[in-house]
Amino acid sequence: MTDASDAPSGKTSSFGFRDVDAKEKVRMVRGVFDSVASNYDLMNDLMSAGVHRLWKDAAAAKLNPRPGETILDVAGGTGDMARRYSKMARGAQVRMGGEDASVIVLDYNAEMIMAGVDKGGEPEMSWTVGDAMALPIPDASVDAYSISFGIRNVADVSQALREARRVLKPGGRFLCLEFSRPTAGPIRKAYDAWSFHAIPRIGEWVAKDRDSYQYLVESIRRFPDQATFKRMIEDVGFSRVTVTNLSGGVAAIHHGWAI
């Protein structure tokens, strides 16, 4: 899942282990996801041995979609999370009654959106191309905002967080599922060995694109650790921010409230 965004010229942003002009990162990230879109879901299964599905299930349960809510899934890619949200909201609707939920899948990359549309959606879902740093969404208009495995790809993470805060209604929920920092040394060593050596090779064999998957591995290493990212979320105005580590911190859910 991806989103990259415009940023002021002269500002730098990380692209893997390199620092590049923020506007150049937008172009480079778009190229990465143009390349990987057709194999994105298959590669997720191969890279994580299917564990990413359990992480996504845990994140969806944490968000707890309800009938009648408007849920914005930023960097929604091919719609994996949005399908979960739609089905969960519909299940709650059967039990509780109420209106249909609305789940908006927004991604900066049109190729990813097209791959998602081709894969098929749920009745609650709609698709749009948009920018995480300048969301085409009115102030205080959504009940829940999620971004999964995408925020590390934006040119300015803090600006993306400010936009999340802007579009949420008072009492709205923020959720971010992202690769993070393993909490134990042995897990960290094993994960580094797997990600740096195996993932680029799998990308080369399956997607015929080693460089894009090398970038994705490097981008994970450059992303802030759990505590630092928690502070960034709090700094833009979210309250009651919690962190849930998954698989020993290989991934983490950050959750907060717009109150």
pLDDT (tens digit, 9 = 90+) per residue, 235-255?
Answer: 999 999 999 999 999 999 999
Tokens for 64, please give them: 């707890």
Domain boundaries defined on the chain: 12-183+213-258
pTM attached to this predicted model: 0.84
CATH fold of 12-183+213-258 reads Rossmann fold (3.40.50)
Displacement of CA 224 from its chain's centroid (Å): 15
Section 220-247 average pLDDT: 96
User: In whole angstroms, what is the distance from residue 183 CA to residue 8 CA?
Assistant: 35
pLDDT (tens digit, 9 = 90+) per residue, 17-37?
Answer: 556 566 666 666 566 555 656
Residue 37 annotated as binding?
no
Residue 139 annotated as binding?
no
Residue 212 annotated as binding?
no
Residue 107 annotated as binding?
yes
DSSP code string of 17-77: TEEEEHHHHHHHHHHHHHHHGGGHHHHHHHHHTTHHHHHHHHHHHHH---TT-EEEEET-T
DSSP 88: H
User: In whole angstroms, what is the distance from residue 213 CA to residue 43 CA?
Assistant: 10
